[in-house]
Amino acid sequence: MSQAMMRVTVQRYRPEQDDAPFMQEFEVPYADDMSVIDALHYIKDNLDGTLSYRWSCRMAICGSCGYMVNGVPKLGCKTFLRDYLNTGLTVESLANFPIERDLVSDIGDFVEKLEEVKPYIIRQDAVSVQDGEHLQTPAQLTRYRQYSLCINCGLCYAACPQYGLNNEFMGPAALTLLHRYNQDSRDQGRDERIDIVNAEEGVWGCTFVGYCSEVCPKGVDPAAAIQQGKVESSKDFVMSKLRPRRSS
Amino acid sequence: MSKHSKQYQRADEPIFWGLFGAGGVVAAFATPALILITGLLVPLGVLQLDYASVNAFASNWFGKLILIAVIAFPMWHACHRIYHAMHDLKVDVARGFFKVFWYGMAFVVTIAAGAYLIAI
């Protein structure tokens, strides 16, 4: 029985020997249920063991396998060869990030930005265990729930033209996480995060292109979070004129 | 904790974004109708608009308010959009000058339109 084959073009870059990234073609056996990371595994196991790429969970929750697939930011585990039979398949490292090696992009800047927005619940008043749990109504949950589904895969950064033009911009995922905690009724850290929201590098660096929301593999809507952030920042702008929050 | 505790400057964008948003609403709802009426239907003779009735409309305060809204807000909208589109097209020279230039243009048009309307 002859096995159907499919050509996969993969970006290679080995900094110790290549001056610039280049494209390399591989023939991989085709199956209907084969994902992009399955194809990369086949290449690494059978054709070229030096190929480097990130992956882990194979089920769209770890956020490791973000690549550009035919120029569109995609998760390798959630993208299938069967959808590229007519177009061919080209896999590259995530756009807007430096290339570390082959398909591995350096997402250090993104991780720093995530830390910067303090993506955790901040309390001003200490609450003891005896006080019981924080109760939240379904309405309060709805305010932030979809934003909490982010898996930090970085696809939205690869999609964002503003981040591509100027990576001082905090970018979609970080601003979405920031908004997620500001919207959480248990959180009291808004004042520690609002300076980032108000800045040019914050929500105001966004021009509402909306591609971030289109490529998000988890159905999060970062563009909406950022526009809501603009409303928050505008309110804060007016309030700061009427009643200065603190000296700064 | 994060490595670089950066100082963030408050952007002045809320003012311009507010005007941009107002202009967007006006441009979406009123501008197409205005273009249709004043740019097509009246010149083609489909619709009659005589000077006296337009003048009467621009002579009372309600009419003046509507006119300044449909002139000034879309102007702020367009100037804000062009200013940001320059950055999108990687024209990043003299940002300060172009900020004054574009928002200045919207400001001048607003003041001029306001002055004309008051004079009517």
Contacts of A99 (CB under 8 A, 6+ apart): A11, A13, A21, A93, A105, A106
Q: Do B8 and A201 touch (CB under 8 A)?
A: yes
Q: Do A198 and B8 touch (CB under 8 A)?
A: yes
pLDDT at B57: 93
pLDDT of A57 > 60? The answer is yes
Mean pLDDT estimate for chain B? 92
Query: B3 in contact with A at a CB cutoff of 8 Å?
Result: yes
Q: Quick one: tokens of A144?
A: 């932030």
Beta strands of chain A (E only): which ranges? 5-12, 22-29, 66-69, 72-75, 89-92, 99-101, 104-105
Q: Which CATH number fits the domain A5-105, given the four candidates 3.40.190.150, 3.40.190.10, 3.40.50.150, 3.10.20.30? A: 3.10.20.30
Chain B's closest residue to A232, CA to CA, is: B14
- For an interface test with B, give the residue of A116, A118, A203, A206 to mutate (most B CBs within 10 A): A116
pLDDT at B1: 46
Residue of higher predicted confidence among A247 and A201: A201
pLDDT at A127: 83
Q: Quick one: tokens of A152?
A: 């930090």
Residue B5, min C-alpha distance to chain A (Å) = 8
> pLDDT for B26-82, tens place per residue?
999 999 999 999 999 999 999 988 899 999 999 999 999 999 999 999 999 999 999
- Residue window 24-83, chain B: list those with CB within 8 Å of chain A: none
**CATH code linked to domain A108-242:** 1.10.1060.10
- Which percentage of chain A shows pLDDT scores above 70? 98
Contacts of A33 (CB under 8 A, 6+ apart): A80, A82
Domains annotated for chain B, with CATH where assigned, are: 13-119 (1.20.1300.10)
Instruction: Name the residue among B8, B96, B80, B14 with its Cα closest to residue A170.
Output: B8
Query: B13 in contact with A at a CB cutoff of 8 Å?
Result: yes
> pLDDT for A140-197, tens place per residue?
999 999 999 999 999 999 999 999 999 999 999 999 999 999 999 999 999 999 999 9
Q: Do B17 and A115 touch (CB under 8 A)?
A: no
pLDDT of B2 > 50? The answer is no
Domain locations in chain A as residue ranges:
5-105, 108-242
